[in-house]
Chain A
C-alpha cells in the first residue's frame, strides 16, 4: 500500500501542478524557522479579510499579521505564497485516531460495549496520532481535532483535543480531557436486550450516576478519614458536577434535546449538544439555556435518528445567536471520516455566509472548545497553525496546498 502510494505521487503532482497556485520557495521545515505566508486573501477570522496579506511566523507562533504594504517580510524568512490563507481548521468533534480507517475490530477504539456508562475511559489511552485518517484530515488544512469516544453508548468515555501533527509529542496535546461523551435517544440504547432499553431508563440511569457523583464529590471534600475509596468512574463524573468538564451530549430528536437541557438544569452542569439534527425545532429552548451546538456534518445521511436533518440547521442556529461549530462526526462505513472543510462549504451554500461558515471550523469552534486563546484565528501570539489554498477553500475543485502547525510545515501535498 505504501509502495503504491509512492508510485502514485509523481502522477498526482503532474496532474495537479498546473492548478496549484502555491510556490514553495525552499523547504521550510524547521520548527523554530521563520516563515512568511503571503496570501492574495488572508482570512484572519479576527476582522475583515486582508487582501494581499502577510502572516509572519516565528518560533511556532504568529508574529504579525497584516497587509503586505504594512508587514514587510524580514530577510531570512521563507516565503510561502497562496491564493487564500486561513487559520488552521478545527474539527469540533471527530473520532479519528481512535476509530481507524480500515474499520477492523482491532482499530475501532471509539466505543467499548461492556457497560453503558464509562466516563473513566480516557481518549488519550486510545489515540493513535499516526492513524491515516489524522493525516488525511491534516492534508485538507485541519490542524486541530476534538476527538475521542464516539456515540453509541449512554456514556462512552472522554474526549481530547490534539493537533494533527501526526507525532506523539506531548506538545501536540491541547487538552487530555476535553469533555465526556454521552448519547441520548435511540442511538444510546443498549444492544441485545441490555439496559438502557428505553429513553426513560437511559435518563434515569444517567441521573442516578450524576447523583452518586454529587455525593462522591461532597465526601471527597470532607475530612480525609471519611473519604470513600478512589473511584475512577465517579471521579470523572465529579469533574462534570464541578463544571470543570462538560458533557458532550450526542442527541438528534427534538424531545431528546429537551431531555438533555433538563438534565443540565437539574445538575447545574455544562453541556454541549452534539449532532442535534432536530435542533431547528427547539431553537428557543437551546438559546434560552445558552448551550452551544456542535452540529452534525452538513452532508450527514438522513437515516435513523437523523432522518429529519436539514442542510440549513447550522444557519438557523447561528442566526438565533447560538454558538455553532461543525464536526466530521462518526462514520461506521464508507467514507470512514468526513472532512469539516467540505461540510462547512455545503453549510455556506445553505444559509451561512462565507465568514460564518469558516467560523464554524475556526474561531467559533475554538471558542466552543475553550481553546481560542491558542487557535482559531490568525493573530499575533497565537499558535502558528495556517492553511493554504489555491482558491476559495469551500469550492470542491480548490486544493489545499500547504499546512502549517506550530510554525512547522506539515504538508505540502496538493490535496
Chain B
C-alpha cells in the first residue's frame, strides 16, 4: 500500500505546481480593485475555485485512471500482490493529498497576505478564504465521480457520464450561494463535503474494476438513481424555462386586509391587479370590500359606497424573532444602504461598520460601533449584535440617512458630533418601519419580550411633520439632512401580544382606531385587536360563500403540469427546502410554493404526476423484460417509481448492461451469451465444429 501511494504521488505530484499556479491565479482574480472599494472577496474567490477546483479534481481523476485502465499498464499494476481495493484507496489518498496541497497552500499564503495588507487598505479579512476552502472540499467529489465514469463500461454517448451529474450539481449549488457563507455555513458545507466525498468514494470503489458488482451493487444503484433524478429534474427545468418565456401572466384577484384611512378601521377588500396598458406598470383596482366589524360573515365583493381611501398594504409583516431576521451575509459585506458623507461602509460580522474613503487612496477611516464612532484602523467599542442595517426603507427612499438597529436598540449616528445616540433602547425581537403612501412620517413597531410598541419620530421641536416624501418616480439626488438633529422616538402605544401569535414566524401589524391589529397572515380568517387597556379581542369570521379567492395560482398553467414530471424524491426535497428557507429556491422550487397553496394546482400537479408514474412503471417493466431482470428486482424498480418517477427507467438503463444474445443452435431462439445453458431449451453451448485438424493430447 505504501509503495502504491508513493507511485501515485510521484505520478501526480508533478502537477502540483500547475495547481498552485491555477489557485494563485484564482486568488489574484478575487482581489479588490485599487480604484474603488468593494467587498465580496470571499464570494469571488469561491466562485473562481468553484470553476477551477472541479476542473482539477476531474483532471486528477482522468490522469490517474487513464493509463492504469490500459491493458499493459493495468496488467503491470494489477499482477502484483495487491488487492484492487488497495490500488483504489492509494489513488484516492494520493489524489486527496495532491488536491488539498494544491489548494490549501496558496489559500493559506493568500490569507497571510490578506492579514498583512487587509482591512487597512481594503475591506477584506483572512478568514474569507474559509468558504472557498469548504467549497473546494466539496468540489473534490468530482474526483470519485470521475473514477466511476472512467471505470464504467457504458458508452460515452449513453450513460457513462451519469456519475458526474450529482457531483457537479452539488458543487455548483453550494458554490453559487457562497456569498452568504460565514463561519457557520462554511463548516456546514465542510461537513456536507466530507459526507458526500465519503459516499462517492465508497460508490466509486464498488465500480472499481467491477469487483464490487457482486458485493455492493446497491451503492451503484443508489448513486445512479440520484443522478438520474437530477437529470430528469434538470430536463424539466430546461423545458420549464422555455415555457416560462411564453406563458402570459394572468390578471390576479386577491382578498387583502387594508385600513380605511379616515376611520382607521380594518377592511377586507377584493383587489384586482392588472398591467396598465400605457405605462406597463402593475396597478390595482378595488372591486369591493367590507369592514371587519365583528359580523361573522363578510362579503368582500360588496360594492363600496362613497369615497373611501385605503392604505395600500395596510399591514406590515414583522418577524417575531431575531433568528428569522437575516440571512447570513458572509464575513464582510457592503452596507450600501447606509449612506452618509463621502464614505463607503462595510459590515464586518464581528459587529462593526467600517467606513472607507475611496479617494485619493482606498483607506479605512472610520469604525462605527454600537456605542460610538471611532477612527479607522482598529475595531474599537461595543460591537453590534447583528448587521445593524435593517428596514427603514421609507427613510432611505426619501433620502434620509437611516438609523442603525440591532437586538439591543435603535441608534442614530450624529455626523457633526461624531457620536452615536440611542433612539430606542432595550431588547428588540422584531421590528418594522411603516411605509405610508400618503407622505406622512413613517412609524415604527417594535416587539420586545412580548410587548408590541408603536413609536413615532419627533424632531427637536416635538413635531412629527418633518418628513418630506419624494415625489413619485423621483429618486433623491442628495442626502437630506435629518434636519432633526434632535430626533427622538416616542411610544405612541404599547400592547401585550398573546403567546399564540408570538409562536408564529411572523405576523402582520397595523394601527387601527382601537389600538393595534395583529393578523396571522393574509389567508387567516382571524383577527386580533389589541389595545393597551383592554384584553386581546379575537375576531373570527368567514367569507360569504363564493367569495373566497383560492390561494396561490388558480389558472391552469403549463409550468405546474411540467412540475408533475419531477420525481417525487426531488419534489419532497424541494418542499423540505421551502420549509427551511421559504425565500430561496430555484425556479421550479419557488413555483411549487404557490402550487401547494392551491387545490386546483395541486390537483393538476398530482394528475400529471400520476400519469408520469404510470408511464414510468410501463417503461420500467419493458426495460426489466428486455434486460431480463428477475422478479424481485423488477418489483423493486416498479416500487421505486413512486420516489424516482421517470428517473427510474433511466437509472435502470444506467445500472444494467443489456444482455447480448446469439441464436441457440438447439432451439434457434436468441439466448444469452453469458449463460452456460440456453434459457429456452437448457442446451449447453455447442462446441465449435471440429475441423478435423485439431491436434490435442489431453495431458490430463
Are A and B a genuine interacting pair, yes or no?
Answer: no
